[in-house]
Chain A
Amino acid sequence: MKSSVAHKEIEAPSPTSETKTKTEEDARVDVATKKIKINVQNVELFYGTFKALHGINIAIPAREVTAFIGPSGCGKSTLLRSINRMNDLIDGVSLTGSITIDDQDIYAQGVDLIELRKRVGMVFQKSNPFPKSIYDNVAYGPRIHGIKDKDVLDDIVHKSLMRADLWREVQDRLHTSALDLSGGQQQRLCIARALAVNPEVLLMDEPASALDPRSTSKIEDLIGELRHDYTIVIVTHNMQQAARVSDSTAFFYEGSLVEVGRTKELFTKPREKQTEDYITGRFG
């Protein structure tokens, strides 16, 4: 019942000419004032024959937080994982259209995946520290990229843990197993691990969805601190969270981008009926 109502609304897209002008205006403001870091153009993605993304176009500004929201299964993770080509690991995935980072097409022939993933870090929904010490977790990235000098590694580990706001809690036990940390600490360790390779972009897929409220607010604070230095894209199903941490928000529904705009505007004056229904909790 619920979904059939929602479906109807999709089949009858009703952007009036008024809202259309607004969209264009907004986009112009964004482009004029903000450098675009990631540009997604006409992206369609198939899992085998299942079409998971329908012609996505979205420009993600540099050094800001962009939130992807939408009901479960609408393709948020799929799009996020296209930005560091994580979907390449899944058999039968095909993608058309283009995604550029700093105007460089990351799906062009000959793109070095290792280089790409060094520039685009990722934090997963479920924290996934390696079964190694805290130190070795953070040092893993720098080490595989060729840093061997102990002083340099020490420094990177220290700085990354500081940035992830974990240093104070673990400085006395850097060489104990990362698996002994609490869930929230493990997630911050994963953030530190991602920061240690010095990325420009940080992709976060529901990074706090498995955490208690206190750990969640720590992660949110952390995002607030990192936003000035990194381009952050965060998937969340928690709209309050999106409202709290992001500068712009994109709302997805069934594989399509319904609306994207400044977070404040999207939450207070959504242009699309579907967006309004979703953020007011009428579906999803």
Chain B
Amino acid sequence: MKSHPSTKVRAKEVGIELALALCSSVSILTTGGIIAVLLLESFRFFEEVSPSQLLFDTQWTPLFLDKHFGIWPLIAGTLLTSAIALSLSVPAGLIIAIYVSEFATERTRRFLKPILELLAGIPTIVYGYFALLFITPALQFVFPSIGSFNALSAGIAMGIMILPMMASLSEDAIYTVPRSLREGAYALGASKLQMIIGAVLPAAIGGITAAVILSAARAIGETMIVAIAAGQQPLLHFNPLAPVETMTAYIVQVSLGDTPHGTLEYHTLFVVAMMLFLLTMGLNMISLAIRERFKRMYR
């Protein structure tokens, strides 16, 4: 009589535990699966092209007759657009975070937060067309020589896209700075600005750094905006006014084309994806390590 329901409960618990374990294993299996596919297909690529060509050639022309497999033009394109995006979103995001957490009244805060969340919710393809149809024409007033596809406009759109994330993560970091540190600075006769610069920012630097790195990972992995607005010309340069091709944009280009399955061109997809994966995973791990280190520092 008594043991019957308890075994039932027990069975239910085991069932729930199993379901939860299954769910979490899905993410591990997915990651494992992605790595396996990337490794396997990249391996096929390296059967035909030596790794040294990938690293030391300066041209990327796998779709042409005269094939070159130097990854640097794609990396340069990625870094250029990402750098433009970050040089916009990091300072602006930080200023917004400081303003919202230290200066804004409750009313302004209630007004600003939803706007940021709205920005964060816009699909990136919208940002892509915004860059192509609005930012680029606007830039043409300032730089008449700018191409209709260029790194600058894509970078700016990407910066706006990343801004909410940067601002919100930085605000979290600033918010967790203990009150006692602020009071310590004030008690020494600091003004509000001195208190922020001398006490709050150094204490929040761990979280802010993590925010910057996550923003960088986001920029590097962003696809739609650069595919639409930055162009598809893998050229090795750092001119923001000229078109570039990022790693992600290349993947889109090949995926949308009619590259036959199993060919060398097809395998380049996975090599590029592999590089991208390594880059963003590396950044995420650095960000995690930094957060852990600073968490220990402040208990």
Contacts and interface: CB of A to CB of B under 8 A. Distances in A.
Interface of A: 84, 86, 89, 113-118, 121-122, 124, 126, 128-132, 140-141, 144-145, 177, 179, 190, 193-194, 197
A114 B180 CA distance: 18
B298 A190 contact: no
A130 B187 contact: no
28 contacts: A84-B187, A86-B183, A86-B186, A89-B186, A114-B190, A114-B191, A117-B187, A117-B188, A118-B188, A121-B188, A124-B187, A128-B178, A128-B183, A129-B184, A130-B181, A130-B198, A130-B199, A130-B202, A131-B297, A131-B298, A140-B198, A141-B188, A141-B189, A144-B189, A145-B189, A179-B298, A190-B184, A193-B184
Contacts of B183: 86, 89, 124, 128
A205 to B, nearest CB: 10
Nearest to A84: B187
Contacts of A130: 181, 184-185, 198-199, 202-203
A193 B202 contact: no
B194 interface: yes
Given A114-B189, A116-B189, A124-B180, 6 more contacts: A86-B183, A121-B187, A128-B178, A130-B184, A130-B198, A141-B189
B44 to A, nearest CB: 50
A56 B257 CA distance: 83
A194 B187 contact: yes
Contacts of A144: 188-191, 194, 198
Nearest to B180: A128
Interface in B270-293: none
A66 to B, nearest CB: 19
Interface of B is mostly: helix
Contacts of B199: 130
B188 A128 contact: no
Interface in B152-207: 178, 180-191, 194, 198-199, 202-203, 205
Given A128-B178, A130-B203, A140 B186 contact: no
A77 B145 CA distance: 66
Contacts of A194: 187-188
A237 B178 CA distance: 24
A82 to B, nearest CB: 13
A128 B186 CA distance: 12
B185 A140 contact: yes
A179 B182 CA distance: 16
Contacts of A117: 186-189
A106 B297 CA distance: 37
Contact of B189 (A89, A128, A131, A197): A197
Contacts of A179: 297-298
A115 B190 CA distance: 10
A193 B188 contact: yes
Central interface residue in A114, A129, A130, A132, by most chain B CB within 10 Å: A130
B188 A132 contact: no
A113 B181 CA distance: 18
A86 B186 CA distance: 8
Contacts of A190: 184
**Which of B181, B183, B188, B205: most chain A Cβ within 10 A?**
B188
A126 to B, nearest CB: 6
A2 B247 CA distance: 74
A199 to B, nearest CB: 9
Contact of B203 (A114, A121, A131): A131
Nearest to B178: A128
Contacts of A129: 184
Given A128-B181, A130-B181, A130-B203, A140 B187 contact: no
A276 B83 CA distance: 70
Contacts of A114: 189-191
A116 B191 CA distance: 12
B188 to A, nearest CB: 4
Contacts of A193: 184, 188
A106 to B, nearest CB: 13
Contacts of A141: 188-189
A179 B298 CA distance: 8
Contacts of B194: 144
A124 B189 contact: no
Given A140-B198, A179-B297, A128 B191 contact: no
Contacts of A140: 185, 188, 198
A124 B184 contact: yes
A140 B180 CA distance: 16
**Which of B185, B191, B298: most chain A Cβ within 10 A?**
B185
A127 to B, nearest CB: 9
Contact of A131 (B180, B191, B202): B202
Which of B181, B187, B199 has its CB near the most chain A CB atoms (within 10 A)? Answer: B187
